Chain A
Amino acid sequence: MNRRRTILAAILLVTAALGGQASADTPTPAGGATWAPNQQVNYRWKAGAEPPNWLRPAINAAAAGSNASKASQAAIFAYEAGAQSWIGYTADIPTNYAVGYAVRHVPDSYNIRLRPHGHVLDWGTLRWCQFYDNPPNGCYDAELITLHEFGHVQTLGHVDESLGEPWLDSIMHAGPRTKAKIGWNEDEFGRCDVARLQIRYRALTPSTPYSTCLALPTTLTLAATSTSVAAGQSVTISATLKVTGSTTYAKLADEPISDRQVTLQRRLPGASSWTTHAHMPATSIEGRYASVISPTTTYDWRALFSKPANEGLNGSTSAVIRVNVSSCVDGVCCTGPICVTAAEAGISDQTGTKTDESEGPWQADY
């Protein structure tokens, strides 16, 4: 029996170790109807159960922390006298174990309850750190607990503790920590909380970085204003970067991704290696990047989006586009062995200015 227990303990340890490694990218669970994008849902103090003055700054800081760190179109919170939603300082909480409680009534309102300082629960006496000038160990940070309740209001559930996810990846743990344990006073959502908010509400803007708790596939497409030009003639190459449409997160499918670093690369036809030509500047169109090139010889072109180290997007590479470059001499333009007249090539002169009309190529007599 002891041997069995030893084996079991060893397996459990392995499981825990692997769990911690594998679960580092698990977005916080969530459920229920979501708020409208960026819906402002303000709160007041519950009449007859107003939080004391020493507690209110922590509550308001939690609202600000939610707004500042949500990185998504999740709901926005702020204090407003007369608001429909309320936050109360009350012992009216269903179990005699809980320190905080939240109820959401999407799309109209929510209520948050914080148990009063000094309340004797079954497990002990509740102490809020904000009550003290010098908070003792074992007190609860009201800002973190309120932020956690705002997380529930945003539809976040509790993290799966059996996965062994790093504690600081989320503030939505099933057992809040007291001072001075790791994570006892976090003041913003963890990266895997943000991931779920982005999944449920979309990123705040196309420029907003995606949480590193995600690994979203991306799609990069490439287009050129012309694929047959005279040497030196300008061509605009455009790349469009999006979250891949087949992603498991429906709301993120085909979302444009702006203000990232997209690289334009080229190679000679038949070559195997690519060289970087330029970083493609972002355009005014969301997810669109463009470069103007003036090639003097034929190249294959592609765009490259490398996986960023600081956000949860996977890299992608576009399909290849070949821009054929003609050399024109005495009114005849040749691209490799194929030659046409400048007029047929739609090139107005030997400097390579393209005209409106062109016809098919013809074989040169070399």
Chain B
Amino acid sequence: MTDGRTRRVFVEMFREEWRLHSRLFRGRRFALFPVLIALLAAGTVRLLAVTGTEPGTVFAGLHALAFVFGLHTGSIGLVARDALRNLLGDLTLLVFSARTLPLSQNRLLAVFVLKDVVYYALLFLLPIALGTVPAVVGPGELPGTVPLLWATLTLTFVLGMGATIAGLGLAGRGVAGKALLAAVTASVVAAWLVGVDVVAATPYGAFLAPTAPRLGATAATLLSVFAVGALTFDATDGRQGRTVGPSFRRWRRRVGDPVATKTLLDVHRSTGGVGKALFSAAVLFGVTASLIDLAGQITGVSPSVGVSFGAVLGLSGFTTYNWLTQFDDVDSYLVQPLTVADVFAAKFRAFLLLGPLVGLGVYALALVRRGGPAGEAAVGGVLLVGVACYIFGTTVYLTGLSPNEFLFDTALFAVFGAAMVVPLVPILVVGFVFAPLSLGPLAALGAGGVVLGILGVGLYRRAVPKWSGRYRSG
């Protein structure tokens, strides 16, 4: 493919992304999304500054967030394989046009990744840089810090995407690939543990000291990661004609509901399996651990592990519900003698079966790693289930069976964010201020978790008639 054609594909993909988002997320509202991001970033950072957080800590956190965001966006590799098999139904994106256009799938995916980088750098990372920097540095430092932060956040995002693609590529290369992936990951972790300055070879290192050696090391890291991705990742994935033994009846006997059974089979058999949901929860685990460490550094007091991890890991309810609704749509069920309410009930059942497995599994890992009093651990478990049910109910109420699409609607995103902040902030503050927790606060938090769970189920019940009417209006 010539450079001219590559450029043209890039421009069309960019246009496609904009139209997709602006159409999905109600036109002009989507244009406000970067403004909302900038305001949220500015508000959050201002709040952290008031609590005495050092600017350096804020910048470290931002780079960590950009890396996690990149890891998540890189999972397009997961989606691409399935979407190539027409999972997206009527929605056909240019990235999946290799079968009808004289373009290779890997080249299209490369252009798609580049487009994502530019798109999110402009609409997401630039607003973060613009919102954050004025809140933590003086006016004299603004002209230099904003472009540097934006550049290194973007490169960190790129590193996250590349790491996911390379990881998927290696994981798809049999036992040898998996072994190599494990060895590389273990080497990096070991180097970090023994005191090697791993950060120096990352974009964050370049932000801390934008010297020629660090810029060179960052470039080498990025090139290495993407070289591994290019050599190992196969977007077309030649697993044609996969056969499996009949499992539906056996699973149904355990699950009890045919739609819930099919939903869980979808998650289990799609690329990444149940590991997808675990990965999302593991990301939250990492974020929580960073926040707890950060809070401990700022105040010299360690927050309650059980309460903090329990409450934040409850947020995995959103990603779990997202995976449970990723592989079907309500229309496919309405040709059977099923109602929209039946479909929601089945999704709820599947959620209750998968959600605790994911959330509590990672929570148990957190307790093993970080320890903590048994009472706090038990209350953290209650909080996790309560927050997960609450987030499930809120998500269903706001977005029906399409959680991923509509949460990028600026207004819905704001409402959803507020609905999460209102209960979570008081819980985290109590877990922070009163740690170690006495019986009174523990009982209050446990009761709060139960109330949140009940609230979530109530929201879910109110959502069902609302969405039934919408789906049946056509």
Task: Check if A and B associate.
Answer: no
